[in-house]
């Protein structure tokens, strides 16, 4: 027995004989470390999830886009100390170009918007579902790929954009049976930090780095946070004040600390007011400690969390008004979110909300004799041309086998092509749930 979970990686794989009788090593039939296969039952769940993503995006009037999974490494090189950068799945290709498997979709979106330039009219409302990658030492045994649903609004500076994005996620949750008792959104604004840093004369250039350090506040000891903040040159007093403001519990308290004139308070007040109008107030709460782990956010940030606190963030997003100019693009405001395909499935399992998705086919068609296989093909094609799904039995099989297969694929009807009936263009139909059986002319078969 293998001690490595059946992977033949480190243990010499068994030798098997090929067609020429040569001894060959059996390949490792598992997918590469950190990646997944999607066998039919997995693919049915994935399609169910993605169809909800797509249906919500369509409801909100968003257009679908996609980008290459492979991008130039430069698209993701940011110097703010992000984990997403440390884990970049990057390499040199055969043309000696530095490339990377995308760790997220937003930089590709920015690249395409810049590429389109004046040929597109703002605002743009785009969505994508794409596989994203990271290269992480497998010691933690975590996945190296996941699929992310993204929705983005490009060209709207007002907070109405963020309010609509959160509404789309709430709409998604409601469609799959998740309620405000299960999940909430922690909402804040990076303008809180920005205003605090300005107050202490901290250079704007440190903003991204400071946010990334603070995003780790619940992951590493507070002394480490203070040490890392200190290493940027921020004074101890400023650090104390920063950490103080992150523990503020309400917008009113925040207003007391920041004063009422700043954009942070104005944005947050408007967002909570719009939440009322969109009908999702019970889903959101102010939480000054939310900063998110991507350097490019500049304003409102939010993350979906499970109220039981068992899981990692379900989704997250925010405003990134400075991203396009960092790639040489125009100064176009933007905001968006990412929603991964892993935590949501863990949540659905926990809430017993996973859908039962068996294979379904309307008809299984079978020739009763070998020389009627052609006739069976005609029957299958006729049904398919009418939009009926058909599993055609492709070889001569005993009826017992056919009935077993019909049950396994959950066929609704068994269509038998027999010699006598076929002579006058008819087939036998058996409705498998009721046992009802009748003969019918092929052309009358619906
Ligand atoms: N960015 C990223 C990519 C892949 C996985 Br799995 N998690 C995060």
For 86-96, the pLDDT digits (tens) are 999 999 999 99
Structure tokens at 403: 């009935």
Name the helix (H) or strand (E) containing 219.
none
For the stretch 292-339, pLDDT in tens is 999 999 999 999 999 999 999 999 999 999 999 999 999 999 999 999
Percent of the chain scored above 70 by pLDDT?
97
Q: Is 136 in the pocket of ligand 1 (CB under 6 A)?
A: no
Q: Is 45 in the pocket of ligand 1 (CB under 6 A)?
A: no
Choose which residue among 132, 140, 314 to substitute to test ligand 1 binding: the one with the highest number of ligand atoms within 8 A of its C-beta.
132
Nearest ligand 1 atom, CA 103: 1
pLDDT classification of 3: cutoffs 50, 70, 90: very low
Residue 147 neighbours by CB under 8 Å, 6+ apart: 46, 50, 129, 130, 131, 132, 340, 341
pLDDT classification of 432: cutoffs 50, 70, 90: very high
- Whole-structure pTM value: 0.93
pLDDT classification of 13: cutoffs 50, 70, 90: low
Using the mean position of ligand 1's atoms as its centre, give its distance from the Cα of residue 132 in Å. Answer: 6
- Gap between the Cα atoms of 271 and 163, Å rounded: 6
What pLDDT score was predicted for residue 1? 33
What pLDDT score was predicted for residue 12? 60
For ligand 1, atom 6, which residue shows the shortest CA distance? Answer: 145
352 pLDDT above the threshold of 70 = yes
Q: Is 134 in the pocket of ligand 1 (CB under 6 A)?
A: yes
- Gap between the Cα atoms of 68 and 427, Å rounded: 49
What pLDDT score was predicted for residue 258? 87
2 pLDDT above the threshold of 60 = no
pLDDT classification of 4: cutoffs 50, 70, 90: very low
For the stretch 218-272, pLDDT in tens is 899 999 999 999 999 999 999 999 999 999 999 999 999 888 889 999 999 999 9
Choose which residue among 146, 295, 315, 346 to substitute to test ligand 1 binding: the one with the highest number of ligand atoms within 8 A of its C-beta.
146
Q: Is 145 in the pocket of ligand 1 (CB under 6 A)?
A: yes
Choose which residue among 33, 87, 149 to substitute to test ligand 1 binding: the one with the highest number of ligand atoms within 8 A of its C-beta.
87
Ordered alpha helix ranges (H), 279-362: 323-326, 343-350
């Amino acid at each position: 027995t293998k001690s490595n979970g059946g992977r033949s990686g480190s243990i010499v794989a068994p030798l098997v004989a090929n067609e020429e009788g040569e001894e060959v090593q059996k390949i490792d039939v598992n997918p590469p470390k950190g990646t997944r296969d999607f066998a039919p039952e997995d693919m049915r769940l994935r399609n169910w999830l993605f169809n909800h993503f797509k249906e919500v995006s369509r409801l909100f009037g968003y257009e679908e886009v996609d980008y290459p999974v492979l991008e130039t490494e430069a698209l993701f090189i940011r110097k703010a100390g992000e984990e997403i950068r440390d884990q970049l799945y990057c390499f040199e290709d055969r043309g000696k170009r530095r490339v990377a498997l995308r760790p997220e979709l937003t930089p590709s979106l920015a690249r395409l918007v810049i590429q389109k330039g004046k040929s597109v009219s703002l605002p743009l409302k785009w969505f994508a579902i794409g596989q994203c990658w990271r290269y992480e030492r497998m010691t933690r045994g975590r996945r190296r790929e996941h699929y992310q649903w993204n929705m983005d609004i490009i060209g709207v500076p007002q907070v109405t954009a963020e309010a609509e994005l959160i509404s789309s996620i709430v709409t998604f949750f409601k469609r799959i049976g998740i309620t405000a008792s299960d999940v909430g959104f922690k909402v804040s604004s990076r303008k809180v930090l920005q205003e605090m840093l300005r107050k202490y004369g901290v250079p704007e250039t440190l903003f991204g780095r400071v946010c990334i350090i603070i995003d780790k506040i619940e992951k590493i000891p507070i002394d480490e946070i203070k040490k890392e903040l200190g290493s940027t040159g921020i004074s101890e007093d400023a650090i104390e004040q920063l950490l103080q403001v992150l523990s503020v519990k309400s917008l009113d308290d925040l207003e007391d600390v920041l004063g009422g004139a700043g954009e942070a308070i104005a944005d947050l007040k408007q967002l909570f007011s719009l939440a009322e109008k969109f009908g999702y107030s019970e889903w959101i709460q102010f939480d000054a400690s939310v900063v998110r782990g991507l350097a490019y956010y500049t304003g409102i940030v939010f993350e979906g969390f499970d109220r039981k606190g068992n899981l990692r963030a379900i989704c997250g997003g925010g405003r990134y008004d400075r991203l396009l100019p960092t790639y040489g693009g125009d100064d176009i405001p933007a905001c968006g979110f990412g929603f991964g395909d892993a935590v949501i499935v863990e949540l659905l399992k926990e809430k017993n909300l996973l859908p039962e998705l068996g294979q379904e086919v309307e008809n299984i068609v079978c020739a009763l004799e070998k020389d009627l296989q052609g006739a069976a093909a005609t029957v299958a094609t006729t049904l398919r041309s009418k939009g009926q799904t058909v599993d055609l039995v492709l070889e001569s099989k005993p009826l017992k086998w056919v009935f077993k297969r019909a049950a396994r694929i959950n066929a609704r009807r068994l269509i038998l092509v027999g010699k006598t009936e076929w002579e006058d263009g008819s087939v036998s139909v058996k409705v498998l749930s009721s046992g009802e059986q009748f003969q019918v002319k092929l052309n009358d078969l619906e």
